[in-house]
Structure 1
Amino acid sequence: MQFLTDRAVCVGQKQLDMDRQAIQSLLRYNGELEQKQTLEVIETELDEVTHSRAYLDEQIDLVQQAQSDKHSLTTRIAAAAGFRAHEPGTLLPKDEREPDFREAHSEHRFAGQEDWVAYTVIGKGGLCREARLPKELADELEARRLEKPIWRIDRGIPYKTYYDIGFGKQWSDSFSKASTRVLNWSHGAHGLRHTYAQKRMEELMRYCCYEEALKAVSQELGHLRPDITLAYLR
């Protein structure tokens, strides 16, 4: 699933589906999947990555001011952590859900964010990873904690959500409309991942060399291969 998630940045939907089907056939042959069991369909990010571009902090601030409270908070959270559109809807404190184990974590991951609050999010393919938010954003988020989690559907996929904030297509549409109103253009909400990647590369290179910074940023974004993150640095 991590391989397919990384491939989603590089290839179109047809090729991604062919890769998934090939892996699925192999796992069935090996007995690791039942004959009728399938792998989750991963949607390509190629178009979003190719066309999205980073926003300036001032531009993000103008956009979030033009959104409703719950969408504004999501915009600031997504910019602070480099989330995909659906990922804010899966937020949960790290002490309530452990991330999936990754053997080769970079020692520089979250460097400079030691005082930030640790959460986990569910990325593409159901992969759970750690993410961190500044204390003030975490406080705003916790103020919107639901008494009981609820299931919400985004693009046909159910997500168990713990906070009353925007996410997925509704938030992404809100971001694009607000950006068009105040900036007269929009690179889409995916541009916030570009912003995060570029800012984090600058920050992490105070602690380590370019290659190590790239490795750390790729893991913070939920990629296994550092070269995938290069698409966000153009």
Structure 2
Amino acid sequence: MKRVESVPYTRSQVSEIAQIQTGKNRLATWLAFEAGVKPSEIASLRPPECRTIEIRKATESQLFLGREDVVIYSVDNGQGEARHIAVSAQLHQKLEKARLGCPKRVEEDDWSYLCGYNIGYGHAWVQSFTECSDSALRYSHGTQGLRHAYIVERFFELLMHGVGHDERVGIVGLETGLGPESVKKYLMTRAESRSRSVA
């Protein structure tokens, strides 16, 4: 199994990057860090009442276990598969201030969404993030480093709540839209990074 070529950002690093971004790109950065969403998925963000998602797996009752004072939203992966995500109450307030009165159609590559928020997404946000990371930190792990950070943090949070390894992989997979093997690749990268730092 090949590991994922990325490194997770810390919250303090994300804060440094976000400080020099524009408002809508800053929102997207915090959304990706707090919820592990992909660049294209950000454009599909919806409040929970706007999208019905069928609960099909027992582990879905444990989604966001360990996270308190959160608000549930949903995103679409571009293939008609939607999932719930959780954001902090603070980010929720900022998102709702950026909510559009009338959603607008946005398109990029092979996907098209009705975007309901004035928020960064897709290639433009990815470029903004990379440039601001280079400026603030003198390096960039790309937006994948935000998704990576979410996976690592959630895996630890679930461990602290006594959830077994395989269940943790399943829960994090549901929260990020990833399959079990993809989640494990991210975790392998984190484990290898720790080994190198100890050595």
- Normalising by structure 1, we get a TM-score of 0.75
CA distance in 1, matches of 2:97, 2:33: 19
Residue in structure 1 matched with residue 157 of structure 2 by the alignment: 203
The answer to whether the 8 A contact 1:108-1:213 is kept is no
Residue in structure 1 matched with residue 88 of structure 2 by the alignment: 134
- Amino acid in structure 2 at the alignment position of 1:184: R
Residue in structure 1 matched with residue 192 of structure 2 by the alignment: none
The answer to whether the 8 A contact 1:155-1:169 is kept is no
Residue in structure 1 matched with residue 73 of structure 2 by the alignment: 119
- Amino acid in structure 1 at the alignment position of 2:92: A
Q: Report runs of 4+ in structure 1 exceeding 4 Å deviation.
A: none
Pair member with larger Rg: 1
Residues 153-208 of structure 1: per-residue CA shift (max 9 Å, x gap): 22253221000010111111100010011111111111111000000011110111
> How many angstroms does 1:96 deviate by?
1.7
Gaps of 5+ in 1: 1-9, 11-45
CA distance in 2, matches of 1:176, 1:99: 33
Gaps of 5+ in 2: 190-199
The answer to whether the 8 A contact 2:20-2:132 is kept is yes
RCO higher in structure (CA 8 A, sep ≥6): 2
The answer to whether the 8 A contact 1:90-1:161 is kept is yes
- Amino acid in structure 2 at the alignment position of 1:161: C
CA distance in 1, matches of 2:152, 2:174: 14
- Aligned with 2:16: secondary structure? helix
Q: Are 2:40 and 1:86 equivalent residues in the alignment?
A: yes
CA RMSD for the aligned pairs? 1.8
- Amino acid in structure 1 at the alignment position of 2:104: I
Q: Are 2:113 and 1:159 equivalent residues in the alignment?
A: yes
Counting matched residue pairs gives 187
Aligned residue runs from structure 1 range 1-234, under 5 A: 50-113=4-67, 115-207=69-161, 208-223=163-178, 225-233=179-187, 234=189
- Amino acid in structure 1 at the alignment position of 2:150: Y
The answer to whether the 8 A contact 2:6-2:141 is kept is yes
- Normalising by structure 2, we get a TM-score of 0.87
- Aligned with 1:125: secondary structure? coil
